[in-house]
Every structure is written in C-alpha cells, then in structure tokens.
Amino acid sequence: MIRSKDWQAPPEIKDMLLESALLPTLEAALRSGSLLDMAKEYDLNMAYLSFVQEIASHPSLIDLVLDIGELYLPRQHASIETLLSKLNDLSRIFLSCLTEESKASMDEEQQKPRRLAERIQETHKIVTEKVA
C-alpha cells in the first residue's frame, strides 16, 4: 500500500510508525559497521533502503527520516537522514576504490557490497531531494 503513487498516508500511519519498533530497527541497521557487514544481510538491508525510499516519497511521512525529537522511546540517537549521509560518504569511498576490471571479475556474492553502496547513494539522493 505504501508504494502506491496515489495513496496519501493518513496522520495515523505516521503516528503508528513513530510508536512502533520500525524506526529504531532501521536506525540500527543503518548504523552497521561497514558495507561488508551490511552485505551479509543483503536482502534485508536492500528492503530497508527501499522502505526508506518509499517513506521519503510521501510528503506526510518524510519527517520520519529526520530528527523525531525526544517524545518517542527508545530515544533516537541519530536520524535516518544523518545515518544515510554517513553511509553515503562510505559508499562513495568504497565505489571509488573499485576499478572496472575488479567489478567485471566479481562473482554474484562479491557484487553485493557494490550494489548495496549504489542503493545507499540512490536512497540518500532521494531523501536529500525530498527534504530540501
């Protein structure tokens, strides 16, 4: 339902997400140590990034990726936007180290960190454009 272009999220959805464990779960996933660690849970992290993109595409939900304040428990340590920004920097460095030759010689499993880095950059760009 959240992927529907015509659907407008009612205020209750935002409140439900703020009161759920979803945002702390997303934050914990995005706070992961490295792209290689994140690639171990590749499908799950790709799903998280897709969900963040969907949240950012709904004007009534975009605030969920920003600082949500101290009203909700557990307290937010860093916003999704902040964590994505840090991961974007890490992804840029990681991708800049890959040569075309090394990309071509990677097997399917070795491609996961690269694809994850690219999705992080894509998600960061979407969030940054929507927040601006």
pLDDT per residue, tens digit, the chain (132 aa), is 455 566 777 778 888 888 888 899 999 999 977 888 999 999 999 999 999 999 998 888 899 999 888 777 777 888 999 999 999 999 999 999 988 888 788 888 889 999 999 999 999 999 999 888
Nearest to 109, CA basis, from 39, 32, 47: 39
Contact 32, 38 (CB under 8 A): yes
The pTM score is: 0.88
Q: Phi and psi dihedrals of 72, rounded to 5?
A: -115, 145
The pLDDT score that the predictor gives to residue 1 is: 47
Residue 17 in tokens? 């997400």
- Please name which of 65, 60, 66 lies closest in space to residue 11, comparing C-alpha atoms: 60
Residue 3, pLDDT score: 58
